[in-house]
Amino acid sequence: MIFPWQVSYDLIKPVMDLGFEIIENPNVTEVKAGGAINFVALEPGKILIPAGNPNTKKLLEDAGVECIEVKLTEIAKAWGAIHCMSAFLKRDPI
């Protein structure tokens, strides 16, 4: 998922050429205030996403992604998000 106003075509084109589906999130409020595209992939097709972003969740679910919502009101007060809480996850190779 990308916020199209912040990502150039030259950056996304090589990713698309590798066969990845790009989902554009045009919801400025959810992206900026809700941290909607700051999520963590747990496994292919399954993510942790900040609660309170219904339009983003629908876009992802319509693309087949399972979204587990996490309430982040307290960490958001310090401008934190899911990545701030998780650091790096070690995943099994796909």
Concatenating the DSSP letter of every residue in the chain gives -B-GGGS-HHHHHHHHHTTPPP-B---HHHHHTT-TT--EEEETTEEEEESS-HHHHHHHHHTT-EEEEE--HHHHTTT--HHHHH--------
**Catalytic site residue from 22, 84, 91, 93:** 84
- State the Cα–Cα distance between residues 51 and 73, nearest whole angstrom: 9
Active site residue 84: yes
* Catalytic residue IDs: 84
